[in-house]
Chains A and B, each alone.
Chain A
Amino acid sequence: MIGEEDYDHLYKLVLVGDATVGKTHILSRYIKGTLPKAPTATIGVEFATRTVSLDAGCAVKAQIWDTAGQERYRAITSAHYRRAVGALLVYDITKPATFKSCQRWMEELRSNAEPDIVIMLVGNKVDLAEKNPGDRQVDFDAAADFASQQGLLFEEASAVTGANIKLCFDKLLKEIYNTTQHRRDREDDPTNNFQLQGRSSQTECAC
């Protein structure tokens, strides 16, 4: 894991959304480039990290918490949102109920995570709609409208084909970087949470 520890910023992200919208698949695709070998329902939370360099020229480490989607686990999983600066809020484009739940997920994120958490709305399983257009139950435009009203980033993606997965994370991380950078410029707060470990001597990276 050489290079893994060489980063400028550490961002905590959470993956949320209804059960079986494909959160764990998205994470596996992003971290390992493959789908899970033996898929099981996520119980509680699971954890993974990936370090990427942004266009701005600095390296950020994403610490990603994959959560169980089932209603019953909310009490346990919401405890893990604390200090999260970004979230992937996932729904399944073939299941309208999972899109409807997004409103509630969003509220839960905003009340348990950092108040200015950056949220990327992800419509997963586009591969199904590509194969059979009748499977699509959530309109791209409807979701895009919802996202812009709520101030969310938005992409459709497919963990199965890998389409747009990396893009979702890249855009999210970049936006978090911009937001925190902007805030740091404004506040210049030396106790900022988001610059942990790494090159601690260097508060600003060469961007």
Chain B
Amino acid sequence: MQSVSSSSASDTGRSAKAQKFYRLLSLPSVDLAALRELLWSGAPEEDPKIRAEAWQMLLGYLPPVKDRQGPGLQKKREEYEELRRRHYTPIESGQDGLSDVDSAAILRQIRVDIPRTSPGLPIFSHPRIHQLLERVLFIWSIRHPASGYVQGINDIATPFVVVLLASRLDCLPEDIDVDAATDEMLDSVEAGAYWCLTKFLSDIQDHYTAGQPGIQQMVAKLKEIVHRIDQKLYEHLESQGLDFLQLSFRWMNCLLLREFPFPCVIRLWDTYIAEPLEGFSSFHVYVCAVFLIYWSPQLKQMDFQQLMLFMQKLPTGKWRNQEIVGDSERAGPHHGHIATGKRLCFRESGLAPYISRPLKVKEDLKANRYFVASDYNFDGGSHRSPWTDRYIPVPPGGEAEEERLFRPSARLKRLEQSFNEVFEAYVMSYYEGGVSSVYLWDLDEGFAGAFLVHKELAKVLGDGKTGVWDSIHVLEVRESPNSHYVDFKLSSAIWLHFQVAAKADQTELSGHLTRQAEARLDRRKKAGEDAQIIQVGTMIEDNENFLRHNLECIHLAKQRTVLDAVRSQAAGP
């Protein structure tokens, strides 16, 4: 496999974005968390190899360690060849491999659907691609009997075929000439597409099992979100008797492949694939909510029949990527489906601490201070500094664009400031340094917030050993005007990552711990922001003490026992 780094790392004249990918992908061991972060904002279009490599790596097909890539791919290729021999060759060679009725029905359906798959792209009318897709879909279906082949999965396979083939032919997706591909190239694309599809669908397999429970849940969730954030639209759709299942079933079943032009789907999938494990399926619902609300002004003017006709053929044919990722030229609150969806996703369901990647630190030059960059203060491609309330770096659209990015209400902004001061003092005394930040956002009744600490342990450990300690506390405060009580919910997580570089090999240790806490304040007795700050401070301190204690007395102690046992065995009797 020709990798990105060897082919073009030295090229000059590449975009800054491509350069970032090259730097990352050329390392002997690619940092997957960093790759997720880069890919989340989209792969550059100029070099099709970048996207293919990033997708395959994040979907677990291409090993991140350079030395293991050759053997790793070889093994996967062989496994696929074996599946092909077992499940597909009997059909090909005319032996009756289809003694059971189900397989025969699956194959018949696949053969009917393939010629009508993505008719907008010329490569999908090529017989070689038909055969490739037939094998991939058939083998996937046989290997996943709970769902089997469901129409729409053929659509979902297409982005993988296009991205991998464009990479092998080193051309843009629209310039793919199937006849220029060798058999070896197509075989490698086929195996890659199979494994990528398998991984991708593993998160959403219950979309396609009996009764399609995954889709029903997503539709229910969509309905709930729209009810909360665009009540007028929700009420209008209700009054017209339009069911959310009618309007969004296909969005869930085909992941918007039938709604967006193909290049937009590819861009959207950059983000889906970069989402932390098991993340994209819940994120997808938010993207759908943003997509629906995007049309809200028109939809509110329509009656049932107009709605149905409009929704099944949305005017997205001329859409380009800016509709998906945001367009700085555009006025108004719309920043593209991805960023808006993400922001919503956090504000709505921010309670689960987000611990799948290490926190990052950025510098606020105006305040001359560092702050924690996370998904909780991310919008429009930039991070908001708690010290100056500015987004850093200034987004491509300049100051005007920056003004439109998400900010908490004025009341909450004041509270956020107080929290930041108090929390910083706490972190200074407990952590002896480290960077801390607090971000708040409004809820319908109350507010939520993230309390973050990032500490690098390199200096403490010395000798090329590195370590990172991240604390993430997510707070939800419910204050209803009809109640005397204020309810606090806190979820805390500690994320630890050590790397100890010895001479021969590296030892990596990482893990996380979590703990939840709840409390209630009586407003008649204690009121005001001070009482809230004290309450939250106590809860955070309790959670952290508990987690530290656990870490030290249970986890590290056990680790030590295990390591000692290994060492004494290695030393021999």
Contact B245 A41 (CB under 8 A): no
Contacts of B443 in A (CB 8 A): none
- Say whether A19 faces chain B, with CB atoms less than 8 Å apart: yes
Contact B116 A72 (CB under 8 A): no
- Say whether B119 faces chain A, with CB atoms less than 8 Å apart: yes
Q: How far apart are B307's CB and chain A's nearest CB, in angstroms? A: 10
Contact B246 A43 (CB under 8 A): no
Contacts of A72 in B (CB 8 A): 147-148, 150-151, 208, 210, 212
Q: How far apart are A74's CB and chain B's nearest CB, in angstroms? A: 9
Instruction: Contacts A19-B109, A38-B120, A70-B150 given; indicate if A43 touches B250 (C-beta within 8 A).
Output: yes
Contact B245 A76 (CB under 8 A): yes
- Say whether A79 faces chain B, with CB atoms less than 8 Å apart: yes
- Say whether A207 faces chain B, with CB atoms less than 8 Å apart: no
Contacts of B211 in A (CB 8 A): 75
Closest to B219 in A: A76
Q: How far apart are B517's CB and chain A's nearest CB, in angstroms? A: 41
Q: Could you say which interface size class chain A belongs to?
A: 20 to 34
Contacts of A40 in B (CB 8 A): 116-117, 119, 258
Q: How far apart are A79's CB and chain B's nearest CB, in angstroms? A: 7
Closest to B312 in A: A46
CA A49 to CA B150, docked complex, whole Å: 28
Q: Mark B238-254, 1 if CB is under 8 A from A, else 0.
A: 00000101100110011
B236-279 residues with Cβ-Cβ distance < 8 A to A are 243, 245-246, 249-250, 253-254, 258
Contact A47 B308 (CB under 8 A): yes
CA A19 to CA B152, docked complex, whole Å: 13
Contact A43 B254 (CB under 8 A): yes
> Which of B120, B210, B249 is close to A44, meaning CB atoms less than 8 Å apart?
B249
- Say whether B504 faces chain A, with CB atoms less than 8 Å apart: no
Contact B312 A47 (CB under 8 A): yes
Contact B246 A70 (CB under 8 A): no
CA A20 to CA B115, docked complex, whole Å: 12
Contact B249 A39 (CB under 8 A): no
Contact A76 B151 (CB under 8 A): no
Contacts of A46 in B (CB 8 A): 312
Instruction: Contacts A40-B258, A41-B113, A72-B212 given; indicate if A79 touches B151 (C-beta within 8 A).
Output: no
Instruction: Contacts A44-B249, A49-B305 given; indicate if A75 touches B119 (C-beta within 8 A).
Output: no
Contacts of B147 in A (CB 8 A): 72
Contact A20 B215 (CB under 8 A): no
CA A38 to CA B216, docked complex, whole Å: 28
Q: How far apart are B295's CB and chain A's nearest CB, in angstroms? A: 17
- Say whether B16 faces chain A, with CB atoms less than 8 Å apart: no
Q: How far apart are B260's CB and chain A's nearest CB, in angstroms? A: 15
A61-107 residues with Cβ-Cβ distance < 8 A to B are 63, 68, 70, 72-73, 75-76, 79-80
Q: Mark A159-201, 1 if CB is under 8 A from B, else 0.
A: 0000000000000000000000000000000000000000000
Q: Mark A10-43, 1 if CB is under 8 A from B, else 0.
A: 0000000001100000000000000000111101
- Say whether B553 faces chain A, with CB atoms less than 8 Å apart: no
- Say whether A45 faces chain B, with CB atoms less than 8 Å apart: yes
Q: How far apart are B279's CB and chain A's nearest CB, in angstroms? A: 24
- Say whether B112 faces chain A, with CB atoms less than 8 Å apart: yes
Closest to A43 in B: B250
Contacts of A73 in B (CB 8 A): 150-151, 212
Q: Which of A43, A46, A63 has its CB near the most chain B CB atoms (within 10 A)?
A: A43
CA A70 to CA B253, docked complex, whole Å: 13
CA A45 to CA B211, docked complex, whole Å: 16
Number of interface residues of B (CB under 8 A): 31
- Say whether B1 faces chain A, with CB atoms less than 8 Å apart: no
Contacts of A70 in B (CB 8 A): 109, 150-151
Contact A43 B151 (CB under 8 A): yes
B119-164 residues with Cβ-Cβ distance < 8 A to A are 119-120, 147-148, 150-152, 154
Q: How far apart are B214's CB and chain A's nearest CB, in angstroms? A: 12
Q: How far apart are A129's CB and chain B's nearest CB, in angstroms? A: 19
- Say whether B309 faces chain A, with CB atoms less than 8 Å apart: yes
Contact A19 B210 (CB under 8 A): no
Contact A44 B112 (CB under 8 A): no
Contact A76 B215 (CB under 8 A): yes
CA A44 to CA B207, docked complex, whole Å: 13
Contact B245 A63 (CB under 8 A): no
Q: Which of B150, B243, B309 has its CB near the most chain A CB atoms (within 10 A)?
A: B150
CA A19 to CA B149, docked complex, whole Å: 13
Contacts of B308 in A (CB 8 A): 47
Q: Which of A20, A40, A63 has its CB near the most chain B CB atoms (within 10 A)?
A: A40
Closest to A70 in B: B151
B285-316 residues with Cβ-Cβ distance < 8 A to A are 305, 308-309, 312
CA A39 to CA B114, docked complex, whole Å: 11
CA A194 to CA B253, docked complex, whole Å: 33
Q: How far apart are A144's CB and chain B's nearest CB, in angstroms? A: 27
CA A76 to CA B207, docked complex, whole Å: 12
Contact B253 A44 (CB under 8 A): yes
Contact A19 B151 (CB under 8 A): yes
CA A70 to CA B309, docked complex, whole Å: 23
CA A145 to CA B150, docked complex, whole Å: 33
Contacts of A63 in B (CB 8 A): 305
CA A64 to CA B254, docked complex, whole Å: 23
Contact B151 A39 (CB under 8 A): no
Q: Which of A39, A41, A63, A79 has its CB near the most chain B CB atoms (within 10 A)?
A: A41
B303-344 residues with Cβ-Cβ distance < 8 A to A are 305, 308-309, 312
CA A41 to CA B110, docked complex, whole Å: 11
Contacts of A20 in B (CB 8 A): 109, 112
CA A48 to CA B258, docked complex, whole Å: 18
Contacts of B245 in A (CB 8 A): 44, 76, 79
Which 6 pairs across A and B sit closest by C-beta, in order of nearness? A44-B249, A38-B119, A41-B151, A47-B308, A43-B250, A75-B211
Residues of A within 8 A of B (CB): 19-20, 38-41, 43-49, 63, 68, 70, 72-73, 75-76, 79-80
**Known contacts A19-B112, A38-B120, A39-B116; can you find 20 more A-B pairs with CB under 8 A?**
A19-B109, A38-B116, A38-B119, A41-B113, A41-B116, A41-B151, A43-B151, A43-B253, A46-B312, A47-B305, A47-B312, A48-B309, A49-B305, A70-B150, A70-B151, A72-B210, A72-B212, A73-B212, A76-B216, A79-B245
A-B contact pairs, 8 of them (CB 8 A): A20-B112, A41-B152, A41-B154, A43-B152, A44-B249, A47-B312, A48-B309, A72-B148
